[in-house]
Amino acid sequence: MGHAGKADELKATDPLYALRHSAAHVMAQAVRRLYPEVKLAIGPPIEDGFYYDLDLPVKLTDEDLPKIEAEMAKIIKEGHAFRQSYMTKAEAVEFFKRRGERYKLEIIETIPDARVSLYSDGEFIDLCEGPHVTSTGEVKAVKLLSVAGAYWRGDERAAQLQRIYGAAYLTPEDLQAHLTRLEEAKRRDHRRLGTQLELFSFEELAGPGVVFYHPKGALVRSLIEDEVKRRHLERGYELVATPHIFRTDIWKRSGHLDYYKDYMFLFESEEQGFGIKPMNCPGHILIYQARLRSYRDLPIRFFELGTVYRNEKSGVLHGLLRVRGFTQDDAHIFLREDQLVEEIERILDFAFEVVRTFGFTEFEVELSTRPAQRIGDPVSWDHAEAALREALISRKVSFAVREGEGAFYGPKIDIKIRDAIGRSWQCGTIQCDFALPERFDLTYAGADGKPHRTVMLHRALLGSFERFLGMLIEHYAGAFPLWLAPVQVTAIPIADKFLDYAREVATALRARGIRVHLDERNEKMQAKIRDAQLQQVPYMVVVGEREAKARVVAVRHRRGGDLGTAPLESFVERVSRESASRQAP
């Protein structure tokens, strides 16, 4: 494995790091035995497994993986010891040059030390700083998962490589549990379900990373927006709306042009530079500056469902989870420094309250501190980090510290949520900022009548709505809770002659604000029920002659099956009450 794949955090926290590191070497060794002409790039351990990037003259497919696994099994059985050795950089350059390993040569150029570390096992030797297990014989519970494309160092202009992913665990039982989780994740994949449930699509003609919401998906998104907007208004936030493009002058002043330029869409018009906004903060700053503010006005809480655009590389785009255009539940709070800790506490309470509404109950919280590349003075960073830490401790929130991972303008709290199968997702964020108020000269009139520097909090509760919707789809495997389901009830007449009563049922449901679909197709009842279940409709009501005469409905649930008959009025009341309760399915 190359030095470029250190993954220091995993190395420090994951007890399986050395095992997976060793598995990556065994895999590369097996590939070299089968394809001697291979050139090795990097092969780091990652969460739950490992990968190796390879330059091969043949294109591998998933069908080739069993052959590679079989060769790995031989290497494991041979029980070669992992041995570390060292070379000077000049010796290493000569060694890998003889082997034609151009990627290793590029890595060596980036190593600042006078000598480099290598590891060998049997005939295999690789540029690597470790750690490893004692021998290949310890790599037992391993499985190759897939082949994918990868660019050298993530650069689309660089060489196209082939990446083999694998999983490695201490025991076969742990490995099998992981493979079961992967199968469950595949079943819940929001991209597949988004097509099946007719929620959204990506259109080649429009370009990558921009989402087209179909009627059902747009409705679910609107329900999320309405819920979030209502809760903000209840808590004293003020709605604002800002443009999508600004002159580059503002991005220069904010620092985005210096620190975020590679992720911005920039263009010129009438000999002036413009940027499509990657963030909403400068727009909210301009609204704050529109008039004089008094200390009595603060805190001022501006809230916007703001759509932003970021020039992500096409290779990292991933369904709804990584897109180029997305909408945030974005707020910026302008306040006095003495109000800072109390306001952060309020935001923490608000964030946990909102995500619980959507059925998430397990959280991980991280405090990210000042990065190497940043704006603002050290004293302000001290105050900002201290305020975030104090609020977390005050609210008795357990948190991990991520040194150097803050935004370029301020430290932050990140809230991650765990889904139904235990995966962690980035969600809300709270960022404390002294730097932008300084750059934009944000002030308020104090009790002494003099101008004082305003402090600013950036925060989002759900983050990107696109990402959050993808998370919701996978958390519920497409079976949204009743209140979020785009269709809450499907009315199914047994035959056309019962359509009139089915229409009455649909009308009664709609009158209570329930989203209902009347299935009038000339299909058999069982086919209609099956289709409604595939669409994850929470309730189906079947009506025939007996139901029409008694003014009842035969109720089916997408999971509970046949629930028997119920008077129409009581069923309408039941669905209305359940929807209003916001309970999970």
pLDDT at site 317: 86
Read off the pTM.
0.86
The confidence band for 5, taking pLDDT boundaries of 50, 70 and 90, is very low
Whether the per-residue pLDDT at 62 is higher than 60: the answer is: yes
Amino acid at 248: T
pLDDT at site 320: 94
Cβ atoms of 297 and 444 within 8 Å: the answer is yes
Cα gap 580→582, rounded to integer Å = 6
Cβ atoms of 490 and 528 within 8 Å: the answer is yes
pLDDT at site 1: 47
Amino acid at 568: L
Cα gap 531→517, rounded to integer Å = 12
Query: What angle, rounded to 10 degrees, do the helices at 17-34 and 65-78 form?
Result: 110
Q: Give the burial class of 563: count Cβ atoms within 10 A of its Cβ; 0-12 exposed, 13-18 middle, 19 or more buried.
A: middle
Mention every residue, 6+ apart, whose C-beta is less than 8 A from residue 401: 366, 367, 368, 369
Cα gap 270→38, rounded to integer Å = 52
Query: What angle, rounded to 10 degrees, do the helices at 568-581 and 499-511 form?
Result: 40
Nearest partner of 333 among 270, 375, 370, 387, judged by Cα: 387
pLDDT at site 160: 86
pLDDT at site 8: 61
**How many CA atoms does the CB half-sphere of 240 hold within 13 Å?**
23
Mean pLDDT of 443-451: 96
Whether the per-residue pLDDT at 3 is higher than 50: the answer is: no
pLDDT at site 316: 83
Cα gap 108→88, rounded to integer Å = 10
DSSP 136: G
Cβ count near 520 (within 10 Å)? 14
Hunting for tokens 């235990």 — which residue is that? 422
CATH of domain 3-174: 3.30.980.10
Between residues 376 and 136, which one has the greater pLDDT?
136
Q: Between the CA atoms of 440, 444, 450 and 451, what dihedral angle is there, to the nearest 10 degrees? A: -10
Q: Which residues are catalytic?
A: 281, 310, 328, 330, 332, 412, 458
φ/ψ of residue 318, rounded to 5? -150, 90
If you compute the radius of gyration of the chain from its CA atoms, what whole number of angstroms results?
A: 29
Element (H, E) at 335: strand 325-335
Cα gap 340→410, rounded to integer Å = 14
CATH of domain 482-581: 3.40.50.800
Domain ranges of the chain: 3-174, 196-239+278-475, 482-581
342-378 confidence digits (pLDDT tens): 999 999 999 999 999 999 999 999 999 999 989 888 9
Cα gap 407→395, rounded to integer Å = 23
Cα gap 213→256, rounded to integer Å = 30
Strand duo 49-55 + 160-169: pairing = antiparallel
Whether the per-residue pLDDT at 2 is higher than 50: the answer is: no
Sign of CA dihedral 155, 157, 158, 163: positive
Cβ atoms of 509 and 529 within 8 Å: the answer is no
Percent of the chain with pLDDT over 70: 97
455-487 confidence digits (pLDDT tens): 999 999 999 999 999 999 999 999 999 999 999
pLDDT at site 457: 97
DSSP 135: B
Nearest partner of 9 among 511, 403, 471, 315, judged by Cα: 403
Whether the per-residue pLDDT at 307 is higher than 60: the answer is: yes
pLDDT at site 346: 97
Hunting for tokens 């603002």 — which residue is that? 376
The confidence band for 11, taking pLDDT boundaries of 50, 70 and 90, is low
pLDDT at site 7: 52
φ/ψ of residue 192, rounded to 5? -70, -45
pLDDT at site 153: 78
Element (H, E) at 364: strand 363-368
Nearest partner of 444 among 220, 289, 311, judged by Cα: 289
Instruction: Provide DSSP, 192-203.
Output: HHHHHTT-EE--
196-239+278-475 architecture in CATH? 2-Layer Sandwich (3.30)
Cβ count near 248 (within 10 Å)? 18
pLDDT at site 183: 93
The rounded mean pLDDT for the chain is: 93
Q: What is the 3-state secondary structure (H, E, C) of 293-334?
A: CECCCCCEEEEEEEEEECCCCHHHCECCCECCEEEEEEEEEE
Nearest partner of 142 among 36, 53, 58, 16, judged by Cα: 16
Mean pLDDT of 163-181: 95
84-134 confidence digits (pLDDT tens): 999 999 999 999 999 999 999 999 998 988 899 999 999 999 999 889 999
